[in-house]
A and B are shown apart, each in its own frame.
Chain A
């Protein structure tokens, strides 16, 4: 009996130690993530102008946002377009680059180095740089002029037809390498013997990519798609810096709408409705992601 209580005491001490290791991180995420999320949800039911008290208005903010705010649906649409276009564009670029690099030709390390570099640069810096590239007398238009394609010149970021696509292009330029790294990591797990036997059986390189590489990386594709879509929804820096949601709301996304409604117009309660929508969308994606990772782990076991 003495032994049992000693063992229990020892285990209790071990739990206390373990809990102590984990406590700091829990405090931080509770104080600065979980509690603020709850506050956002609550604030959506109030009106606040940043100075006075919170005034309860029930569902008024939600009703107004969903029925009388065209900007909301415009920004939602743009957010979806941006997330989807950049995800698949970057994935195409990243996967192609990964395939080419994985073939192991000369200097592959140099290419891998170059392609991942833009990922680490400040989005603000990249966006400001591309502002100059897209400028009326910037790189793109000058290049078109040199090629005698003057009729294609444009005020890229100032044209409602092209602005969003121009920004998508910048994202693809910057983040193709991010996708590439994940695909390369996945390709490491493919046994080269499989490629060898396929080659002996006469399969061309292209055939090997489609019949071996892609199916074996199915999980990687799914997970990267979700991660990239989540990141696409969370975009803010690039669009705020390059166009601020303009011209004529052509590039307004959920993030920029939230920012302007809160800090430019001082309608914090109203803006919180957007915050709630973003959290719900993010939670849906996260649940999807967790289930996918869960299945992957089960498959391994």
Chain B
């Protein structure tokens, strides 16, 4: 992949102008996030002074034990989100890897039909599915059950991920696979020992994107999880909206907790992620 070209551009003036534009927009993008962090460390009296820096690092807002809603703390919401996300990602990754490799490199009956099907499903509005899926799990008495979220999540994110990965696998050199097969590997073993290790970059990019979608998912978590004890983080945070109209602090702390995981992943993997999206965007 080519690096960005370096332009020697005309003049100090145009360079500065561009820098200024970028700095302005970067400030607009970053300011709310920074404000969030700062506000979460302000004691109740100071929060309304929106532009003031916190005078000290007040961590009272992060005292999750104190802020309960019917006995449930943010810690519980966090735990639920973590469990749902890990399970969903695990199953999703396996299912999608197999399918993507099959479509890209193996013989599959009705391959073209499947590809068109996947393309079409990417656009399905999940709102239309909320009633039937609610009805399905309600009948099985599985509302407030993590599988009621995990299984649909796998299905919702499968089409997009499969398409991206199959496009990636298609470019994988056949010679390497052939070489492994000559040495006696079956298709399946070749996949695990040759293709996967090399593809970790693309796979991790897709996995992180999926983690982001699942961790932040709101609609289905809202519909399927009725009791506070089983709610995931985004839904749990909604409880804060009404309760902490006056006291912003705890809510701010909760929001910080909500955005930290994806932010951390972004910090670590951002180059990988952006490269993965670019490849998928241009080719897929």
Contact = CB atoms under 8 A, between A and B. Distances in A.
Given A43-B132, A112-B274, A21 B99 contact: yes
A70 interface: no
A181 B274 CA distance: 7
Nearest to A279: B128
B237 A18 contact: no
Contact of B30 (A114, A205, A279): A114
B54 to A, nearest CB: 15
B219 A237 contact: yes
Contacts of A265: none
Contacts of A24: 94-95, 98-99
Contacts of A234: 125-127
A189 interface: yes
B101 A21 contact: yes
Interface in B1-53: 1-2, 4-7, 9-10, 14-15, 18-19, 21-22, 25-26, 28-30, 32-33, 35-36, 39, 48, 50-51
A66 B6 CA distance: 57
B96 A116 contact: no
Contacts of B32: 129-130, 133, 139, 173
Contacts of A259: 127, 130, 219, 223
Interface string B251-262: 110010011001
Interface string A165-183: 0000000010011000110
Contacts of B10: 205
A237 B218 contact: yes
B35 A139 contact: yes
B107 A11 contact: yes
Which of B108, B128, B270 is the most central at the interface, judged by chain A CB atoms within 10 Å of its CB?
B128
Contacts of A106: 19
Interface in A260-301: 262-263, 268, 271-272, 275-276, 278-279, 281-283, 285-287, 289-290, 293
B120 interface: yes
A276 B215 contact: no
A32 B99 contact: no
B131 interface: yes
Nearest to B35: A139
A120 B214 CA distance: 11
Contacts of B51: 142, 146
Contacts of A255: 125, 127, 219
A184 interface: yes
B196 interface: no
A283 B131 contact: no
Given A117-B266, A186-B281, A33 B124 contact: yes
A196 B123 CA distance: 40
Given A33-B156, A263-B223, A285-B123, 16 more contacts: A18-B102, A22-B114, A29-B121, A32-B151, A33-B129, A104-B5, A114-B30, A120-B212, A122-B262, A132-B252, A205-B9, A205-B10, A233-B125, A236-B127, A262-B131, A276-B128
